[in-house]
Structure 1
Amino acid sequence: MPTTASRTVLSLAALGLLAAGCGDGSKGSGASEPAPDTRPRALEVAKAWDGSSAAETWRAGYYPLGDPVQLPDGAFHSGDDKEAYLTQNFTLRGDLPRTSRKDGKVTWRDGDSLTLPLMEARATYDRLDGSDGPGPRLTVTGAKLGETTLATSRGPATVPAWLFTIEGYDTPLKRVALGPSRPPKPPIGPVGSPTAELWELDRVVGVAADGRSVTVRAHHGACDDGPAVDVLETDGGVVLSGYMVGTRDGLCTSQLLAENVTVELDRPLGDRLLLDAFTGRPVRGAE
């Protein structure tokens, strides 16, 4: 599967996980071993969700699959601006508006809609500005309430968004002003501890405009050749199975990495459930 070069490093100790394989620098047999058979578990997850009350609840709710932030046109003007965004380093210059509206409406292309609590501009800004550290910053000078389009578990939807004016940019940075619906209790439990054969996926990065591919953040260890993701498609769901490839024998440093992996689908995702074989749950989106 194609992957990006960008990686995220997390603490294995914080997750209570042990890295699988490697560490002594010698190549084990993992690199030439056949890929694990992920199909039995994927089928088990697909069958558990098919026709379940959890699936009905999921299809009736709002669960975003795309990035809740839409960058200004031409972003970014400089490496410093990009670093500021990635490190969540923002400065607020001026006041943010308040609104008397308490609710916002999600509207799908088929006309269905759902009303959810609307986030105030300040609360939405706080989700952008997650750092008080040193380094370059982006300056927000104002905001107004508007809309944006976002991929969801039920297809593209129009949702309320706060449009933040960024110093130096002609168009606003848009940030979705709604949180997802409460997820249902899954009809199947997780596998247990991660192994080289199956790892939990991190999150959905995005869905292609035509629905024919999905990009997810997939975990792997510090001493392997990266992640891979298998796909099982049914009429009601798409089950993704993440695992590591090219593992090495021996001890490994305590790091958990993540890379973007894009998987191609035989037909558009549509309103089919996007499921994680390891957890038995829908793959979460960014919030």
Structure 2
Amino acid sequence: MRRVFVTLCVPLLLVAGCAPADPEPADAPPPDGRQAAFEERATQIAAAWQPGPSWSDGYIPLQEPVMTVGDPGFTPDTQAAFRAGWYRDQIPLPTDQPEDGTIQFPSGTLTVPLVSAAEAYRELDRGDPPACGGRPTNPATPPAPADGPDTGVSTAPQTACIPLTVTAVELDSVPVRTSRGEAAVPAWLFTIDELTAPVARLAVAPTAVGEPPEPTAPSAPLPQELVGALDLRAVDGATLTVRVGIGACDTGLTPLVYEQDDVVVVGGAVIRSTGVCTEQLLLEPVTVQLTAPLGERTVLDVLGGGPLRLTTG
């Protein structure tokens, strides 16, 4: 029998709208009404979540395959290069396929085939950076000196189109959010000359990587006063940081959570503006406090019913 917990969490922040909103619009439901609407939909979401056996005995990552291991010490230039996938290798990259590796889940292990360092690098490197006006594409090449104080060239800060330099590589494991909780997954760690921490590219062969199933959302639309979640930003024991999508003039953002033994459903409640407002979707981080550590439970979105991925970029 599933145990159920419903919590109205303290919001991390209040969101100021772009147009004045009535503090308590006459047609706005009371907070307990919003929670009841959330609980009703979350119950339907949890009941519909039937992912199949591969969810609990296979390898389905819920995180991007590229990540930094530790604090990379990003500058605007290096962060832009990391997000764009601009790299240049300065070492021979092994092409031999390594022996099978082991994924360590909280409640078991799985043996999987791995890719070579050269193949992992091909997936990591997304091409060369474009030429930037007045900026070198090679970080070792200094910019040309100006002819004088009035050159007609802007001196405003500008992101350099430079690649990250790979100087070493090793096979190790990194923590990854999966359908079976946080697991230690084999990864190739690339030492980057411009960063203070390695960049990891998961080493599991594509044939061993599963995909999340298509969710089944309730047929009824999401109640107007509720908003859905887009992704997880952090998991720290029983504390989740979640990004929800709100309107530009919504106020009173309050995160909501519904817990069962196997799933957690998250979303938020807002007060909608009655005035004129631009049609914008803002992604706002909120803190969700669970009654117990998340563990191997799956985090589902109250809007579409699908599992949330952990994103760090």
Using the size of structure 1 for normalisation, the TM-score is 0.73
d(CA) in 2 for partners of 1:202, 1:91: 29
Amino acid in the other structure paired with 1:38: F
Q: Does 1:124 align with 2:123?
A: yes
Q: Does 1:231 align with 2:257?
A: yes
d(CA) in 1 for partners of 2:266, 2:124: 33
Which residue of 213, 223, 227 corresponds with 1:199? 227
Q: Name the structure 2 match of 1:41.
A: 41
d(CA) in 1 for partners of 2:190, 2:21: 50
Cα drift, residue 141 of structure 1 = 2.0
Q: Name the structure 2 match of 1:19.
A: none
**Structure of greater Rg:** 2
Q: Does 1:58 align with 2:55?
A: yes
Flag the 1:78–1:47 CA change in 2: closer, same or farther, 3 A. Answer: closer
d(CA) in 2 for partners of 1:3, 1:254: 23
Q: Report which stretch shifted further, 157-166 or 109-118.
A: 109-118
d(CA) in 2 for partners of 1:99, 1:196: 55
Root mean square deviation, CA, Å = 3.6
Flag the 1:91–1:27 CA change in 2: closer, same or farther, 3 A. Answer: same
Flag the 1:281–1:130 CA change in 2: closer, same or farther, 3 A. Answer: farther
Cα drift, residue 266 of structure 1 = 0.3
Identity among equivalent positions (%) equals: 32
| Secondary structure, aligned partner of 2:261 | coil
Q: Name the structure 1 match of 2:186.
A: 160
Q: Name the structure 1 match of 2:300.
A: 275
**Residues paired across the two proteins, number:** 262
Flag the 1:93–1:113 CA change in 2: closer, same or farther, 3 A. Answer: closer
Q: Name the structure 1 match of 2:149.
A: none
Verify the 8 A CA contact 1:68 1:175 in the aligned structure 2.
yes
Per-residue CA shift, 1:128-151, capped at 9, x if unaligned? x79747423451224333321223
d(CA) in 1 for partners of 2:228, 2:111: 30
d(CA) in 1 for partners of 2:73, 2:196: 12
d(CA) in 2 for partners of 1:97, 1:3: 47
Cα drift, residue 235 of structure 1 = 1.7
Q: Name the structure 2 match of 1:181.
A: 210
d(CA) in 2 for partners of 1:255, 1:96: 45
Amino acid in the other structure paired with 1:233: E
Verify the 8 A CA contact 1:222 1:255 in the aligned structure 2.
yes
Q: Does 1:26 align with 2:52?
A: no
Flag the 1:202–1:103 CA change in 2: closer, same or farther, 3 A. Answer: farther
Cα drift, residue 69 of structure 1 = 4.4
Q: Does 1:139 align with 2:164?
A: yes
Which blocks of at least 5 consecutive residues in structure 2 are unaligned?
A: 1-9, 133-158
Which residue of 90, 112, 115 corresponds with 2:86? 90
Which blocks of at least 5 consecutive residues in structure 1 are unaligned?
A: 8-21
Using the size of structure 2 for normalisation, the TM-score is 0.68
